[in-house]
Amino acid sequence: MSSGSGCQPQALTKPALGEKEAAELVDRVFGLKVSWIGPLPSYDDQNFHVRVSRDRGTAGGADEYVLKITNSEDSREPDLIEAQTRAMMFLNAEGFPSATPRLTKDGTIMSLESASGCGNKKYMVRLLTYLPGTPVAKIATNAQIFYEVGKLAASLDKALSEKFHHPSAKSLHRGQFIWNLANVPLLDQYIYALGQNKYRDVVEQVIEQFKGKVIPKLSSFRACINHGDLNDHNILVDSSSASSQHPQYRVSGILDFSDMSYGCYVFEVAIVIMYMMIESPDPLGVGGHVLAGFESILPLTAEERAALFLLVSGRFAQSLVLAAHTALLYPENQEYLMVTARMGWKHLMKMFEVGQEAVERRWFETARAYVTPA
């Protein structure tokens, strides 16, 4: 869900290619004939699900890809897009279910292209393997999948931080990147998008408490590379059991690395908790299962645990404020932009109504039960 690499989400940078033009792009850049193409939802990039003929000129079979056309603002930073793509390739080689790029006709992993009808803007284009599975947002979630996603988040960040050494990784130091959890205070400049209401009051409380209680502690949190957007639409699962009443899920795909940046391990678990809350009928109960999965790989320190409530609240604030802001820029994309907001406001208000102490007690008791079951 990135919105440019700086602190200012950019206006009118989202590509707007038609299906015919996108199909021609696949042919021209990758040398593949499109047999079918359809749009995929996106925040400020443009994505298409593409099927192509396996052999040029033959009718048999098809391969599936995602054509990813990066917004014109982020396309100005090829090192950053290369870092994201190389990280996906690295993770795939390490056994994670991440996409890999199809090389262009010139043998490169991406290409900067102009699009007719889009002025002088240029967009970075990649063709990524299509991953099978169902988004977490479309299944009946349970404790097992929350645990698995928490475990995945820790494993992924740990692998990136300890083994990913590509030269492009230095571009992941994105100091003012608005979606990095360290930058919750930057929301002050976008909060106008909420208007004047009780929701704005809660967000202002989150920002002020974040400034006072989290920012001074940042240096004590362990640093790492964050995926940064392991939300309910970016994690694909499939069922590994025959039981329809009690399905066991495994993660089959990890999508959208455009919010990658250097951050902290505790940021990732907070982000996952927040997005998994959206998909649960018992949102305040989610955190303990995610935390247990995460800590099965990487136990949090006392300082990191103490910040968890405000970090989860901070991610709610980021998602809700920036969705409202971006919906003003792209009213035609409002339905997708506000998908988290439908339940997000309700959950954030509930967290503050119940209070930090009670919410944390429930999270930590649930997580402890995984280690010392009754």
Both 100 and 182 in a single domain?
no
Which residue range is the domain that position 52 belongs to?
Answer: 19-129
**Is 12 a member of any domain?**
no
Q: For 211-246, how does the pLDDT look when each residue is reduced to its tens digit (9 = 90+)?
A: 999 999 999 999 999 999 999 999 999 977 655 667
Residue 82 lies in a domain: yes
* Whether residue 153 sits in one domain with residue 66: no
Total length of the chain: 374
Q: Are residues 144 and 280 in the same domain?
A: yes
- Domain of 212, CATH number, reads 3.90.1200.10
The pLDDT of 84-94, averaged and rounded, is: 98
Task: Determine, yes or no, domain membership for 14.
Answer: no
Residues 247, 332: one domain?
yes
pLDDT value of position 117 = 52
Last residue of a domain, one of 70, 99, 129: 129
Residues 78 and 33 reside in one and the same domain: yes
φ and ψ of 165, to 5 deg = -125, 25
How much is the pLDDT for 247? 76
* Assigned token pair, 293: 């999965």
Among residues 44, 45, 74, 229, which one is catalytic? 229
Question: What is the pLDDT averaged over residues 335-356?
Answer: 85
One domain for residues 173 and 72: no
The answer as to whether 327 is a domain residue is: yes
314 and 194 share one domain: yes
Is 86 found in the same domain as 66?
A: yes
Last residue of a domain, one of 129, 157, 182: 129
Tokens of 255: 């999508």
> Residue 110: which CATH number?
3.30.200.20
Decide if 2 is inside a domain. no
In a domain, 342, yes or no: yes
Q: Are residues 262 and 119 in the same domain?
A: no
Mean pLDDT of the chain: 90
Residue 4, in any domain of the structure: no
Show the tokens assigned to 198: 């009780």
For residues 130-143, one letter each, b for 16 or more C-beta atoms within 10 angstroms of the residue's C-beta and e for the rest, the string is: bbebebbbebebeb
Long-range contacts of 169-173 (CB under 8 A, 24+ apart): 169/83, 169/86, 169/87, 169/225, 170/79, 171/77, 171/79, 171/80, 171/82, 171/83, 172/80, 172/83, 172/225, 172/260, 172/261, 172/262, 173/261, 173/262
User: How is residue 289 written in tokens?
Assistant: 């299962």
Q: What phi and psi, each to the nearest 5 degrees, are found at residue 302?
A: -60, -40
Residues 196 and 343 in one domain: yes
Q: For 285-333, how does the pLDDT look when each residue is reduced to its tens digit (9 = 90+)? A: 999 999 999 999 999 999 999 999 999 999 999 999 998 888 887 777 6
The DSSP call for residue 113 is E
- Of 95, 129, 163, which closes a domain? 129
Q: Domains in the chain: how many in total?
A: 2
Least confident range from 53-57, 221-225, 322-326, 362-366: namely 53-57
How confident is the model over 242-256, as pLDDT tens digits?
A: 556 677 889 999 999
Kind and range of the H or E element at 236? strand 235-239
Residues 329 and 342 placed together within one structural domain of the fold: yes
Same domain, 180 and 266: yes
Q: Is 232 a catalytic residue?
A: no
- Answer whether residue 226 is part of any domain: yes
